[in-house]
Amino acid sequence: MKLLLKKTALSLASLSLFASAVATAGDVYVITNSSLAVSADDVKDIYSGEKLIEGGTKLSPIDNNSIKADFLSKVMGMPADKYSSMWSKKVFRDGLTAPSSKSTDADVIALVKAKPGNIGYVAVPTADVKVVKKY
């Protein structure tokens, strides 16, 4: 009986550690070039094409395909098909340019560092970019 109790306790402890690791695995960090000053309140407007310029700098959002579903859920509050549809309409109706897409955190970080107006999101930010907000 004691052995069964110990195994159950160990299993529950392991499950708890696994659950906490999974909870942090889905973090999304919105990042910008260190020279750009945007707030967390601006992120949704930037990614929906409502905010195009900040302090005289043209904004260029970048999608990260590796965590796009998490970003859309946590930040934009919409599924991928609705996001794509929204941008298709804005491209054809308003002449806007949809966010560019990259495959990895490293690709997004490289673009964000390369141009002051770039903004992106990653799972793991580096020290040489500015974190706007962690979701």
**DSSP string of 57-99?**
EEPEEEEETTTHHHHIIIII-S-HHHHHHHHHHHHHHH-PPPP
Q: What is the CATH number of the domain that holds 116?
A: 3.40.190.10
Q: Encode pLDDT of 52-99 as tens digits.
A: 999 999 999 999 999 999 999 999 999 999 999 999 999 999 999 999
Report the range out of 6-10, 14-18, 95-99 with the highest average pLDDT: 95-99
What is the domain range of residue 44? Answer: 27-134
Residue 18 belongs to some domain of the structure: no
Residue 113 belongs to some domain of the structure: yes
Residue 16 belongs to some domain of the structure: no
Residue 129 belongs to some domain of the structure: yes
Residue 60 belongs to some domain of the structure: yes
Residue whose pair of structure tokens reads 């919409």 in the numeric block: 78
| Residue 8 reports pLDDT greater than 70 | no
| Residue 2 reports pLDDT greater than 60 | no
Strands 29-32 and 60-64: what pairing? unpaired
- Please tell me the total count of domains within the chain: 1
pTM equals: 0.80
Residue 3 belongs to some domain of the structure: no
Q: Encode pLDDT of 34-47 as tens digits.
A: 899 999 999 999 99
Residue 10 belongs to some domain of the structure: no
Residue 14 belongs to some domain of the structure: no
